[in-house]
Amino acid sequence: MVEKLEKIISQSQNIVFFGGAGVSTESGIPDFRSVDGLYHQKYDYPPETILSHTFWEERPEEFYRFYRDKLIVKGAKPNAAHLRLAKLEREGRLKAVITQNIDGLHQAAGSKTVYELHGSTLRNYCVKCGAFYDVDFIANSTGVPRCPRCGGIIKPDVVLYEEGLDEQVLSGAVSAIRRADTLIIGGTSLVVYPAAGLIRYFRGDHLVVINMQPTNADAEADLCIAKPIGQVLSEDVVVEE
Residues carrying an active site annotation = 118
Q: What is the CA angle 114-226-211, rounded to 5? A: 30
Q: Is 14 annotated as a binding residue?
A: no
32 labeled binding residue: yes
Q: Which residues contact 48 (CB under 8 A, 6 or more apart)?
A: 33, 161
Polymer length of the chain: 241
Does 226 belong to an annotated binding site? no
| 53 is an annotated ligand-binding site residue | no
40 has binding-site annotation: no
DSSP string, 212-240: SS--TTGGG-SEEE-S-HHHHHSS--PPP
151: left (phi over 0), alpha (psi -120 to 50) or beta: left
Check whether 121 is labelled as a binding-site residue: no
For 198, which DSSP code? Answer: G
Is 217 annotated as contributing to ligand binding?
no
Q: Is 101 annotated as a binding residue?
A: no
Q: Is position 224 annotated in a ligand binding site?
A: no
| CA dist., res. 71 & res. 35, Å (int) | 14
Ligand-binding site membership of 150 (annotated): yes
Q: Within 13 A of 234's CA, how many CA atoms are on the CB side?
A: 10
103 is in an annotated binding site: yes
Please state, in angstroms and as integers, the Cα–Cα distance from residue 87 to each residue in 29, 90, 106, 135, 234, following that order. 22, 5, 11, 27, 11
Query: What is the rounded CA–CA span in Å between residue 70 and residue 56?
Result: 15
Q: Is 147 annotated as a binding residue?
A: yes
29 annotated among ligand-binding-site residues: no
How many CB atoms within 10 Å of residue 200? 11
Annotated binding site: 21, 25, 32-33, 100, 102-103, 118, 126, 129, 147, 150, 188-189, 211, 229
Annotated binding site for Zn(2+): 126, 129, 147, 150
Annotated binding site for NAD(+): 21, 25, 32-33, 100, 102-103, 118, 188-189, 211, 229
Annotated binding site for nicotinamide: 32, 102-103
